[in-house]
């Protein structure tokens, strides 16, 4: 496979992955840390319904998780736009198919 036109795409993907993953990690870390500060047990079935695990610490951690879960779709979208702009229509079509499959998975039960 000819990878030379992918160098710029790879760099953009690296930047996108770095920004989104660090943001998601930060959100998860803050949400989880608030739970630890109150010294509630983390790995415990009873914790699921504890008041401290509801509210904004939980929402913060969940937001980080969702942001991380959306990153792969963002990377595929980046590939799609990059290939389309470079007129690599076959590669853009392949990326579009993968993106549609991802969206079907996301929209079918969750998002």
Partner 1 sequence: MLGAILGLGGGIFLVPVLTLLFDFSVRVAVGTSLVAVIATSAGVAAMSSDERGADIPLALRLEIATAAGAVVGGFVAGVVSARTLSLLFSLVVLGTAAYTATKGSGDSPKTLFDDAYRPRRWGLGFGVSGLAGIISGLLGVGGGFIKVPAMYAIMGVPLGVATATSNFMVGITAAASVFVYLGRGDIHPFIVAPTALGVYGGAVAGSWLLPHLKVVWLRWTLVVLMVAIGIQMVTRGFGN
Q: Does 55 participate in binding partner 1 (rule CB under 8 A)?
A: no
Q: Measured between alpha carbons, how far is residue 41 from residues 24, 58, 62, 64 in Å?
A: 22, 14, 18, 20
CB of residue 36 to partner 1, shortest distance in Å: 9
Q: Cβ closer to partner 1: 39 or 111?
A: 111
CB of residue 71 to partner 1, shortest distance in Å: 6
Tokens of residue 71, six digits: 């990153």
CB of residue 31 to partner 1, shortest distance in Å: 6
Residues between 56 and 95 that touch partner 1 (CB under 8 A): 58, 61-62, 64-66, 68-73, 75-76, 79, 91, 94-95
- Number of residues lying near partner 1 (CB under 8 A): 57
Taken as a whole, the chain contains a residue count of 111
CB of residue 81 to partner 1, shortest distance in Å: 13
50-78 burial, b at 16+ Cβ within 10 Å, e below that, comes to: eeebeeebbebbebbeebbeebebebbbb
């Amino acid at each position: 496979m000819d990878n030379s036109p992918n160098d710029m795409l790879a760099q953009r993907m690296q930047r996108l992955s770095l920004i989104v993953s660090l943001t998601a990690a930060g959100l998860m870390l803050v949400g989880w840390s608030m739970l630890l500060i109150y010294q509630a047990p983390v790995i415990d079935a009873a914790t699921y319904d504890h008041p401290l695990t509801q509210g904004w610490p939980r929402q913060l951690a969940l937001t980080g998780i969702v942001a991380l879960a959306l990153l792969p779709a963002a990377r595929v979208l980046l590939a799609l736009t990059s290939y389309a702009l470079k007129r690599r229509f076959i590669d853009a079509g392949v990326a579009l198919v993968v993106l549609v499959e991802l969206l079907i998975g996301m929209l079918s039960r969750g998002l």
